[in-house]
Amino acid sequence: MTEQYVYFFAQNNAEGNRTMRDTLGGKGANLAEMAGIGLPVPPGFTISTDVCGLYFEAGNKIPPEVEEQILTNLRKLEETSGLTFGDAANPLLVSVRSGAKFSMPGMMDTVLNLGLNDKTVEDLAGKSGGRRFALDCYRRLIQMFSDVVLEVPKKKFEDRLKEKKAELGITNDSEISEDQWKEIVDIFKGIVKQEAGVDFPQDVKEQLFMAVSAVFRSWHNPRAITYRRLNHISDDLGTAVNVQLMVFGNYGETSGTGVGFTRDPATGAKELYGEYLINAQGEDVVAGIRTPSPLKELEGDMPEMFRELKETTTALEKHYGDIQDFEFTIQEEKLYMLQTRSGKRTGQAAVKIAVDLVEEGLTTKEKALMLVEPGSLDQLLHPVFDNEEKSAAEILVKGLAASPGAASGQVVFTAEEAVAWKQEGREVILVREETSPDDIHGMSASQGFLTATGGMTSHAAVVGRQMGKPAVVGCGAIVLNEKDSSFQVGSTVIREGDNISIDGATGEVLLGEIKTRPSEILQVVRGKIRPEDSEIFGYFTKFLSWADEVRRMDVRANADTPEDAEVAFAFGAQGIGLTRTEHMFFDKERLPFIKKMIMSESEDDRRANLDQLLPFQRKDFYELFKAMHGNPVTIRTLDPPLHEFLPKKEELMVEIVELKASGRGDAEKIRELEVVLERVQALSEFNPMLGHRGCRLGVTFPEIIEMQARAIFEAACQLSQEGEKVLPEVMVPLIGGVEELANQKEIIVRIAEELIEQYGVELEYTVGTMIEIPRAAITADQVAREADFFSFGTNDLTQMAFGISRDDGAGFINHYLTHGIWKDDPFMTVDIDGVGELMKWAVEKGRRTRPDLKVGICGVHGGDPRSIFFCHRIGLNYVSCSAYQIPIARLAAAQVTLQERSA
Amino acid sequence: MTEQYVYFFAQNNAEGNRTMRDTLGGKGANLAEMAGIGLPVPPGFTISTDVCGLYFEAGNKIPPEVEEQILTNLRKLEETSGLTFGDAANPLLVSVRSGAKFSMPGMMDTVLNLGLNDKTVEDLAGKSGGRRFALDCYRRLIQMFSDVVLEVPKKKFEDRLKEKKAELGITNDSEISEDQWKEIVDIFKGIVKQEAGVDFPQDVKEQLFMAVSAVFRSWHNPRAITYRRLNHISDDLGTAVNVQLMVFGNYGETSGTGVGFTRDPATGAKELYGEYLINAQGEDVVAGIRTPSPLKELEGDMPEMFRELKETTTALEKHYGDIQDFEFTIQEEKLYMLQTRSGKRTGQAAVKIAVDLVEEGLTTKEKALMLVEPGSLDQLLHPVFDNEEKSAAEILVKGLAASPGAASGQVVFTAEEAVAWKQEGREVILVREETSPDDIHGMSASQGFLTATGGMTSHAAVVGRQMGKPAVVGCGAIVLNEKDSSFQVGSTVIREGDNISIDGATGEVLLGEIKTRPSEILQVVRGKIRPEDSEIFGYFTKFLSWADEVRRMDVRANADTPEDAEVAFAFGAQGIGLTRTEHMFFDKERLPFIKKMIMSESEDDRRANLDQLLPFQRKDFYELFKAMHGNPVTIRTLDPPLHEFLPKKEELMVEIVELKASGRGDAEKIRELEVVLERVQALSEFNPMLGHRGCRLGVTFPEIIEMQARAIFEAACQLSQEGEKVLPEVMVPLIGGVEELANQKEIIVRIAEELIEQYGVELEYTVGTMIEIPRAAITADQVAREADFFSFGTNDLTQMAFGISRDDGAGFINHYLTHGIWKDDPFMTVDIDGVGELMKWAVEKGRRTRPDLKVGICGVHGGDPRSIFFCHRIGLNYVSCSAYQIPIARLAAAQVTLQERSA
């Protein structure tokens, strides 16, 4: 018995069903499903995706056994419809459409009205009661067929039609007479002959097989390839081809066509949503020549049809347990369903729909959790533009959409200005070539950031996501002119103080001010709206509580300040997975001490300056612990290279030369700068990412880690004395092997024990390490001898596993992504083959030494759903992400648990 | 039955032998061996190394069962010697010495004359015929015992003795009378009582057990710990203790003591070599109070003793099959052997001795190959200082001994000066803060290099070893003052033109000129001496030919120029494992084109400039292929980031500011510099090591790799047309995964095939890749789909696996090494646990995909013996190292094969 390559479907009689997307494609599977449950679907058949591969293997030929099955199904379709393909009396007309497993809208080809030729067109003319209509269909077929099958550009036909209308002095297609359409059909046939060198085929079976072949070929057209690349769809899947009885929405005033959703995809409101046109074909709705009407008006136009549509789609929604996006055609007051699929929706709608579906009994909590794309929750946490104002605004330029949300404000070019202007009550957008840790205070004072360089994981992008502020980065078209305090895009100059708006979800930079609406969820979290006054907050909370019931991994936050920690706690963080202690040093009050500490000539001098920093750090930790209410707080010891705290070398050099040349500078000032320059030069590194930082600082300057350990445990002991629960986890960064960890741990434990004894408290604490150096992952069995926990620093791990600096890679990474060399940016989603393998080894080897080893992740990947799935699969105990990504992580962690259960 | 912890030895009666170094330590095993084969060894026993561990486990106590075995052996010793321990009539006196598995000279403690007390000293006085002698022995015991066992500093005794002599108006010990010695013994006993709070023990067994305990404890003294750390000796091994009958070389004029070698350890000449003293103890030879005589003079002094010594040591050499380093004592015309071990020797001696031993029938070729330390061959390839002149010169400062050899010359501070001065016929030493690829021409013109920063794998170090020139690097005490053209060490100022000398084998920098003697081997290789005129060259060649018979791995050279290739070929390279094509670009003629290429605004512009470079590259490759006579030549495509070819950012910035301020610069010049600066800034990277370099250049600018492929295959095809054999292997650098390799390979193969067809030749070639990014190693199974060969770039692999930049790490790496956090510098010797694991995976996974995958190494580790051993063990096909390391690699590859066979 030969394999089945073609699957028939007709109302209550379908060989396929919705589970067969691999074989039938999305469209084919849903047509079969709808037909199978008795919905009014025009009959037809689906040629399976397997044939796509066979077609290419056979050298772009449909294999004979498939041809045979197609003909068999064609006969079945003739029987079902009572029509005959190519018969002058009762001709069967069909559409031929592509349909891959994953929707690729508009990427592949479609031919309608197939089966028309010089003879059958006459029958259609007779039946439809309009020769004009039939001829219009025919010329459309010629045009579409030639474009798709014979590669004669559509434009050739359109131009000729335009010419013809000009000759006739006609502007509107509807004014073209029957005879004129006949003439146009002949002209079109002439174009085919001239351009393709063949006659338009009158043999309808030839038409069919040529069209099917063309649809298969369209799988490899450049735009389809690009689309797949961008959407991570494998080239191997292939497309199915759906051959289906034509129905005509343009059959007259009792016909029509439309598209819709079973609920409002923007808000989630439970009402039919969509639009339709009377006496029109699907393409007319899209073409925009006529303005379609809102779907609810169909109730007035065709009440019976509206009722039937509503019943049908409600049944569909119930059947699928999810909001449906459908297409329908009405031919002479008969409803046909042409497509259904899960409806795309906004994050807000997704949450509301998921909860409503459960409460309406249409689905289960577990299934509802799978209905929301984790990343879409982000939309609920950011301000959004007023839609009307935004569509009126001029788009200046587009950059990378690095941190979602909408922001409007006046342009400033330095962090200092941002702070100053903010204090005057102005809202600002900070525009920089690239931001650095020095800019943190300015970023904190801004509504959003715009940078000319840097990628999705540049400083501005990471800080944006962490602070929950919009950022557009890597906007290469921007030319900054810092001296003039302006920037330029083409000939447009934007000066300091000018208003711009940025949309961090799209990457758009718009001219002028656009009103924004703050996130309602955030308003609640920040205490500006009472929870009970926000409907969406209620939905959000309920939905995530279901996720919490399911998930196995804990979710923690990366938080550097008590404020961050409070937001994180409000979002459901079960602890802090990463506190970057150095971020505390950039504060204006503290920076002088850290600078002095670095300039110290001796250890004593350094210790003296560290003593000045101790009270600040202690206070930070005290408040952080307090904000987390006894949940674990992971504190990372000092990580960045010391020169990050000093001025830049070239700036100092230029300043000195300028001072000397101008004669302004007194000798003392110059000498002072020269001393700083010397230290900066001594500390300067060719590759600071691979330099003297992380635990290497703590090992070579133990007094630094001593101060930090002291600050941590004084704070913890104090709180403990006050009767609060505290759970500090001290984390050593950038170890390459167990030796460094042992060295640092000895210091931390010594000081902890000293202080615990001194305060006379009982205090639980752990000491662990980042796994962010490949060697640490490789030797994890050794490292685990000293580590109570591991936390994957996937930013550095990715940098080092790939040998690529995030800061420098943007240019060629973009090239790699757009040229399909890489499918994903490994700085956004864990690279499973390389970095992921290291992580897997580290977990396995680590637990071989210490079976109860706690393992988490605190790199940016901790907030990326696909990476979270991976973390679950390799057995991590928790993920840690920015406060604003906690909802995403809670949901993603639940989804992967559910996937696992169903696998 | 209890375990044996104590092993007895006496002439023709020994419980141990030389294979038992683990148990008996080196000294104990050799004493047992000598005694066992009937040589005159004073009887005694060895307490095994296992007891050392037991001693510490028991809380610094000798376990009872060991104590028992010691007493049993003491009785046996009494029987053998006919003496009784502690007996006033016939007292047994013993020495107690440490002896670990590996020699740790002077690191642990020794006590002589044990068994003396107030009573036994009198018997010794009677027997020796001199109470003075006996009392001197006694006071030495008190002093040594107190120092070693009771921790009373030796100095206390020495000072008191000095005082006493001053009181007596005596300068020489020999003037001290018998009674005065008696008084001194009492004074010494007083010191013990006062300082240690106990009496000097009169119970001789107490003396013995206290001394044995002290020797065990000395295993953990700080200098022993440091020594083990520096020499990679495990702390777990422990030391043995040797208790042996005392013999006295200071028993009168018919007694004496000496040390010697069976051959000259400096030249390998076959003659007894060493020195001796009549009427003296071993410590007197070392102490330097009396000048010992050359050993051959013993023939005149004591002809019978000389004959016996010669016979004994010749037998020893024959027995051991290697040059022996021995100690002997003559007591009253009786010879005793006290120690023997393999003699340390120079590289030159090692080779000569190894060959001679084989030719004398004393050992086999295989055993002879194991007698030479591979690294010591380096000594044969470098100029050496005239010994006398060197010892007269003043050492200015010491840095890291980065590339061996001796050089003298005038100080210059820039590469340009080096070239100019060299052209004037002067010999120069280039002194730089740190060298860079820009300095290559200047380095090539210098005798050697001295840098203030950088580690053992810094640019200067690597280039030094590659060029075979001495380099002293990381000499932090040097303060460069480039403006004054001088440098300073403390208060000494060295100016341009001053003569200095550097010893790259010791790191010494010496003032003034010191005569050097060139390497004879190199003179032959360079055609300045005929091979048949050099004895050592003959030895060298023969010895290495034995290595070639044995080794499994091939040895190739890293060579960038035809000259390098010729030297490599002369040293026996079986191909080139790495040609760095970019080194060809730094040439004066070519740099302008590469600069223009980088400044190009468009691809066309870039192609035009690349076309200019093509003929240069083609010529390079043509000559390289020719120099290798049909052996494989691996050519790496462009690797460094483009900004390496442009001026430095800060230099440009300062130049512009200065030009502007001075009013000198015309606007055009300033504008020109600003354009360059813009490009430099656009190319500038925070972490160039992790930036846009390696295949990332070739992927984003395919025209670069196209030009290089064209140059390679035009050269190869041309030679092939000329009837020469050529075997190009094109190597793609810095891939992170198979996708990049596939991209580059497609271009290379396309151009190769085009040219092969065009030239109408048959040409074998392969395309492979560096494995230098951790991810490439991890995904080696995928990479091998596209790679004909792998070559480990262990420099980058180490950098990225550790997350440490070679250029920046020197500071903390030194800290890690000196503080024992690391045992080895991973940039010198492959880190087996981390980087090695990656290599192992890559080999295994790569061969899983492609069983015949050829795998080599071309990082600096390819010239390091321990790393070569590792490469053999994981199944590499070849190692590639600098031309001057090829002899080392040939020998190391042979040794590991022999080790494997015997395992």
Q: What confidence tens digit (pLDDT) does each residue in B188-205 have?
A: 999 999 999 999 999 999
At A844-876, the pLDDT tens digits run 999 999 999 999 999 999 999 999 999 999 999
Task: Return the pLDDT at B102.
Answer: 87
Tell me which residue of A301, A332, A295 sits closest to A313, measured CA to CA.
A295
Q: According to the model, what pLDDT value does residue A285 have?
A: 66
Q: Which amino acid is at B424?
A: E
Percent pLDDT > 90 in chain B is: 67
Most confident of A135-139, A230-234, A738-742, B288-292: A738-742
Helix (H, G, I), strand (E, B) or coil at A633: strand
Res. A647 pLDDT band, cuts 50 70 90: confident
Of B773, B775, B788, B772, nearest to B860 (Cα)? B772
Residues in chain A closer than 8 A to B775 (CB atoms): 801-803, 831, 833-835
Give yes or no for a contact between B298 and B305, defined as CB atoms under 8 angstroms apart: yes
pLDDT recorded at residue A453: 83
Strand ordering across the sheet containing A334-342: A293-294, A273-278, A256-261, A324-331, A334-342
- First-to-last alpha carbon distance for chain A, in angstroms, is 31
The residue of chain B with its CA nearest to that of A683 is: B808
Is the pLDDT at B133 greater than 70? The verdict is yes
How deeply is A675 buried, as exposed, middle or buried, from its count of CB atoms within 10 A (0-12, 13-18, 19+)?
Answer: exposed
Shortest CA distance from A690: residue in chain B? B804
Put simply, the answer to whether A812 touches B696 (Cβ < 8 Å) is yes
Cβ of A687 and B688 within 8 Å? yes
Residue from B765, B764, B777, B787 nearest B849 by CA = B787
CA distance linking residue B698 with residue B708, whole number of Å: 10
SS3 (DSSP) at A292: coil
Token look-up 């999810």 returns A322
Of B692, B779, B808, nearest to A812 by CB-CB distance is B692
At A288, is the pLDDT very low, low, confident or very high (cuts 50, 70, 90)? low
On average, the pLDDT of chain B sits at: 91
In the three-class reduction of DSSP (H, G, I as helix; E, B as strand; rest coil), residue A829 is classed as: coil
CA of A764 to nearest chain B CA: how many angstroms apart?
Answer: 29
Output DSSP code: residue B172: S
- The answer to whether B687 contacts A692, with C-beta atoms less than 8 Å apart, is no
Which chain A residue shows the shortest CA-CA distance from B738? A821
| Chain A residues closer than 8 Å to B825 by CB | none
Nearest residue in chain B measured CA to CA from A452 = B682
pLDDT of residue B30: 96
Residues ≥6 apart with Cβ < 8 Å to A14: A7, A8, A31, A32, A33, A35, A36
Contact assessment for residue A571 and residue A884, using Cβ atoms and an 8 Å cutoff: yes
Mutation for testing the A interface, residue in B229, B678, B800 having most A CBs under 10 Å: B800
Of A657, A799, A821, the CB nearest to B739: A821
Mean pLDDT of A772-782: 98
Name the amino acid, one letter, at B692: H
- 3-state secondary structure at position B646: coil
Q: Which residues does chain A have within 8 Å of residue B822's beta carbon, measured at their own beta carbons?
A: 739
- Report d(CA B749, CA A301) in Å as an integer: 67
Question: Which residues does A589 contact at the CB level (< 8 Å), separation at least 6?
Answer: A616
What's the average model confidence in pLDDT over A194-218?
A: 95
Is residue B303 pLDDT above 70, yes or no?
A: yes
CB contact under 8 A, A834 and B779: yes
Average pLDDT over residues B465-494: 86
Tens digits of per-residue pLDDT, B500-511?
Answer: 999 988 889 999
Confidence of residue B289 (pLDDT cuts 50, 70, 90): low
pLDDT at B664: 66
Residues sharing a CB contact under 8 Å with residue A53, sequence separation 6 or more, in sequence order: A236, A238
Over residues A54-64, the pLDDT tens digits come to 999 999 999 99
Q: Does residue A871 carry a catalytic annotation? A: no
How many whole angstroms from its chain centre is CA B104? 17
Minimum distance, in Å, between the CA of residue A889 and any CA atom of chain B: 27
Contact assignment for A802 to B661 by CB distance below 8 Å: no
Residues A648-659 pLDDT 10s: 888 888 888 888
User: A382, A459, A583, A861: which is the annotated catalytic residue?
Assistant: A459
> Distance between CA atoms of A239 and A217, rounded to whole angstroms?
10
Are β-strands A554-558 and A471-473 bridged in parallel, bridged antiparallel, or unpaired? unpaired
Region B390-415 average pLDDT: 89
Burial class (CB in 10 A: 0-12, 13-18, 19+), A533: exposed
**pLDDT for residue B107:** 66
Sheet holding B13-14, edge to edge: B13-14, B6-10, B44-47, B239-245, B94-100, B110-114
CA A518 – CA A468 distance, rounded (Å): 12
Determine the Cα–Cα distance for residues A840 and A566; give it in Å rounded to an integer: 33
H-run or E-run covering A768? strand A766-771
* A338-342, A550-554, B270-274, B417-421: range with highest mean pLDDT: A550-554
CA distance A543 to chain B (A): 39
What integer is the mean pLDDT of A349-377? Answer: 95
Would you state the pLDDT for residue A322?
Answer: 96
Question: Is pLDDT above 80 for B546?
Answer: yes
β partners of residue B10: B13
| B745/chain A closest Cα distance in angstroms | 13
Average pLDDT over residues A693-702: 95
Gap between the terminal Cα atoms of chain B = 31
Chain A residue numbers with beta carbons less than 8 Å from the beta carbon of B835 are: 775
Say how far apart CA B590 and CA B598 lie, in whole Å.
13
Does pLDDT of B226 surpass 80? no
- ipTM of predicted assembly, 2 dp: 0.84
Does B699 sit within 8 Å of A809, measured CB to CB?
no
Nearest to A451 by CA among A810, A803, A805: A810
**Do B83 and B115 meet the contact criterion of CB atoms below 8 Å apart?**
no
Q: Which chain B residues contact residue A778 at CB under 8 A?
A: 801, 833-834, 837-838
Counting every residue, how long is chain A? 903
Residue B1's pLDDT band (cuts 50, 70, 90): low
Average pLDDT over residues B832-837: 98
Q: Give the active site residues of B.
A: 459, 858
Please list every residue in chain A whose beta carbon sits closer than 8 Å to the beta carbon of residue B773: 801-803
Element (DSSP H or E) covering residue B576? strand B576-580
Strand order across the beta sheet in which B293-294 lies? B293-294, B273-278, B256-261, B324-331, B334-342
Per CB-CB distance under 8 Å, the chain A contacts of B700 are: 811-812, 815
Band (A106; pLDDT cuts 50, 70, 90) = low
Tell me how many residue pairs between chain A and chain B have CB atoms under 8 A apart: 187
Are B654 and A649 inside 8 Å of each other by CB?
no
Question: Which residue in chain A has the smallest CA separation from B741?
Answer: A821
pLDDT at B336: 97
- Pairing state of beta strands A428-432 and A406-412? parallel
Q: Which of A137, A695, A717, A858 is catalytic?
A: A858
Per this entry, what is the length of chain B?
903
Residue B126 reports pLDDT greater than 60: yes
* pLDDT score for B331: 94
pLDDT digits (tens, 9 = 90+) for B316-355: 999 999 999 999 999 999 999 999 999 888 888 999 999 9
Mutation for testing the A interface, residue in B696, B739, B775 having most A CBs under 10 Å: B775
Indicate if the pLDDT at residue A175 is higher than 90.
Answer: no
pLDDT for B364 beyond 60? yes
| Dihedral sign (CA B163, B164, B170, B171) | negative
In chain A, residues with a C-beta closer than 8 Å to the C-beta of B657 are 654, 657-658, 661
Could you say which of B650, B691, B835 has the minimum Cβ distance to residue A649? B650
Contact A260, A274 (CB under 8 A): yes
- How many other β-carbons are positioned within 10 Å of the β-carbon of residue A367? 15
CB distance B691–A740 less than 8 Å? no
pLDDT in tens, A790-810: 999 999 999 999 999 987 887
Q: What pLDDT score does B842 carry?
A: 98
Q: How far apart are CA A715 and CA A616, in angstroms?
A: 11
Q: What is the mean pLDDT of chain A?
A: 91
Q: What is the mean pLDDT of residues B97-121?
A: 87
Q: Do B700 and A811 touch (CB under 8 A)?
A: yes
Indicate if the pLDDT at residue A526 is higher than 90.
no
Judge whether residue A107 has pLDDT over 70. Answer: no
What's the pLDDT score for residue A597?
87
Percent pLDDT > 70 in chain A is: 98
Return d(Cα A207, Cα B278) in angstroms, integer: 117
